[in-house]
């Protein structure tokens, strides 16, 4: 029978879960494509991404405090906008983030041992799923170790980048022909233009999106009305400071052109700064960060699956909570099996393009939900969710066309399943 999850996480645990999701493998790679879009306006793109993240985080935190249940925006959409909107949020999150689980596992494998990337990725999913089955406190403890190590690596990169050598204002290509393809001309003072900055912001936003993991764990947090908003704010603030320093260090050492072309941006930063001996540590940090992101993703997706199963938007058999460990064991096993299946049969380089689109739609629905809150329900200033909703939709529209088409296809498939399921008695 479905049961309740135990409230075992305090503020520090919730902050660590959020940090492990946000400061994941993305920080080791996200700045390169963002620089390719935004050029020398990379910091402006980062600022826009941070504003969107703040709006989304504020809306999500207020809603999570009001509805401290597993499921995040799936729950809020059902409560505030109706079952269909909640379903679409949950569908996009579950499908997209399950693919992201597989991608993060493959990222770990690629950094740890490229020739064994796929077997190591499968092993990582199996091991972390088993860890999650032992209880959420064990998972939070592992996340704490991962976050500490990754922050130490990033601190070393920042120090090296801010104190070491530089490669000129346009990186290592300062005196050569402009490389292609780039979305901007770094010799043009106008830079990438508004479209490029917005696309850069859209790419960088997803490095912030991990604060959703805190909300999806709402049923397992102690004193959620205080803990969730506080944890979201702290995790987001720490992440913004770290990302800003990383971006400044990368631009100082590489410049926007070299940064845009780098396959391992942070490793190139330490090499360009004259601290090449740090490059292996950066590789290890990326592998560990991928594990942290995978751990947080498995936790978040399984809780959304639990919530959808409780409402019969997914098979009800997945709604069982282990009476001893107090974890949604069947939901966690289902997510783990799905991630392993993707690793075994799918070409993930093209299969997860819709994930970015889905995350922005997910948060657009969260902001729309927050707009319906009254003052008595703890509504944020109305401008916050309104701006968040508008920016989410704008950034979704600026994503590469392939990502948008994949996203629309996934949501269309989900809507078709919803229609079929609700036409027949259950």
- Write down the pLDDT at residue 219: 62
Burial 352-372 (b: 16+ CB within 10 A, else e): bbbbbbbbbbbbbbbbbbbbe
- Write down the pLDDT at residue 225: 67
3-state DSSP assignment of residue 176:
coil
Picking from 398, 369, 394, 283, the residue whose alpha carbon sits closest to that of residue 89 is 369
- Other CB atoms within a 10 A radius of the CB of residue 127 amount to 14
- The domain spans of the chain are 11-172+179-420
**373 φ/ψ sector (left φ>0, alpha ψ -120 to 50, else beta):** beta
Fold classified for 11-172+179-420: Amino acid/polyamine transporter I (1.20.1740)
Q: Rounded to whole angstroms, how far apart are CA atoms 263 and 260?
A: 9
- Write down the pLDDT at residue 166: 61
Which tokens is 251 given?
């631009």
Picking from 412, 354, 414, 366, the residue whose alpha carbon sits closest to that of residue 391 is 366
CA dihedral for 144, 30, 331, 357, sign (positive or negative): positive
- Write down the pLDDT at residue 172: 42
Q: Rounded to whole angstroms, how far apart are CA atoms 86 and 84?
A: 5
- The tens place of each residue's pLDDT in the chain, 426 residues long, gives 345 555 666 677 777 777 777 777 677 777 888 888 888 889 999 999 889 988 988 898 888 878 877 777 888 999 999 999 999 999 988 888 888 888 888 888 877 888 888 899 999 999 988 887 776 556 666 777 888 888 999 999 999 999 876 654 444 433 334 444 445 554 443 456 788 888 888 878 767 766 666 665 556 667 666 777 777 778 888 888 999 999 999 998 888 888 888 877 888 899 888 888 998 999 888 888 888 888 878 887 888 888 888 888 888 888 887 676 677 888 888 999 999 998 887 766 555 556 778 888 989 999 999 999 998 888 889 999 999 999 999 988 887 788 888 888 889 999 998 888 777 554
In what helix (H) or strand (E) does residue 44 lie, and over which residues does it extend?
helix 42-66
- Write down the pLDDT at residue 188: 44
- Write down the pLDDT at residue 390: 95
Relative orientation angle of helices 265-272 and 279-310, to the nearest 10 degrees: 160
Terminus-to-terminus CA distance in the chain, angstroms?
18
Q: What is the dihedral of CA 167, 258, 275, 201, to 10 degrees?
A: 110
Relative orientation angle of helices 193-208 and 31-38, to the nearest 10 degrees: 160
Model pTM score: 0.78
- CA dist 426 → 82, 312, 380 (Å): 19, 9, 38
């Amino acid at each position: 029978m479905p049961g309740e999850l135990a409230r075992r996480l305090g503020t520090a645990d919730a902050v660590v879960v959020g940090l492990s999701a946000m400061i994941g493998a993305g920080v080791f790679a996200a700045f390169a494509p963002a620089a390719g879009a935004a050029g020398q306006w990379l910091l402006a793109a980062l600022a826009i991404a941070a504003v969107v993240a703040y709006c989304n985080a504020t809306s999500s935190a207020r809603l999570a405090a009001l509805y401290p249940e597993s499921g995040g925006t799936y729950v809020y959409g059902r409560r505030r906008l109706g079952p269909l909107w909640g379903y679409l949020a949950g569908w996009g999150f579950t499908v997209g983030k399950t693919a992201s689980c597989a991608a993060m596992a493959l990222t770990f494998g690629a950094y740890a041992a490229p020739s064994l990337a796929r077997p190591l990725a499968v092993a990582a999913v199996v091991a972390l799923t088993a860890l999650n089955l032992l209880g959420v406190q064990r998972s939070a403890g592992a996340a704490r170790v991962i976050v500490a190590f990754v922050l130490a690596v990033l601190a070393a990169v920042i120090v090296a980048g801010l104190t070491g050598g530089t490669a000129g204002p346009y990186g290592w290509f300062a005196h050569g022909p402009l490389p292609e393809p780039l979305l901007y001309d770094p010799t043009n003072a106008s830079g990438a233009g508004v479209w490029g900055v917005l696309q850069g912001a859209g790419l960088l936003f997803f490095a912030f999106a991990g604060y959703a993991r805190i909300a999806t764990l709402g049923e397992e947090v102690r004193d959620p009305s205080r803990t969730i908003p506080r944890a979201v704010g702290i995790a987001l603030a720490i992440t913004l400071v770290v990302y800003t320093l990383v971006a400044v260090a990368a631009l100082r050492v590489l410049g926007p052109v070299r940064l845009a072309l780098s396959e391992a941006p942070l490793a190139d930063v330490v090499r360009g700064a004259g601290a090449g001996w740090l490059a292996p540590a950066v590789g290890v940090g990326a592998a560990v960060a991928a594990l942290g992101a995978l751990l947080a993703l498995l936790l978040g997706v399984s809780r959304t699956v639990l919530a959808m199963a409780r409402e019969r938007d997914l098979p009800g058999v997945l709604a069982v909570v282990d009476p001893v460990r107090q974890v949604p064991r069947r939901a966690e096993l289902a997510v783990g099996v799905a991630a392993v299946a993707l690793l075994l049969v799918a070409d993930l380089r093209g299969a997860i393009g819709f994930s970015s689109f889905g995350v922005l739609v997910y948060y657009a629905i969260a902001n729309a939900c927050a707009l319906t809150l009254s003052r008595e329900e703890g509504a944020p200033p109305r401008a916050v969710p309104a701006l968040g909703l508008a920016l989410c939709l704008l950034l979704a529209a600026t994503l590469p066309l392939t990502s948008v088409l994949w996203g629309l296809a996934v949501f269309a498939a989900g809507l078709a399943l919803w229609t079929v399921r609700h036409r027949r008695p259950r």
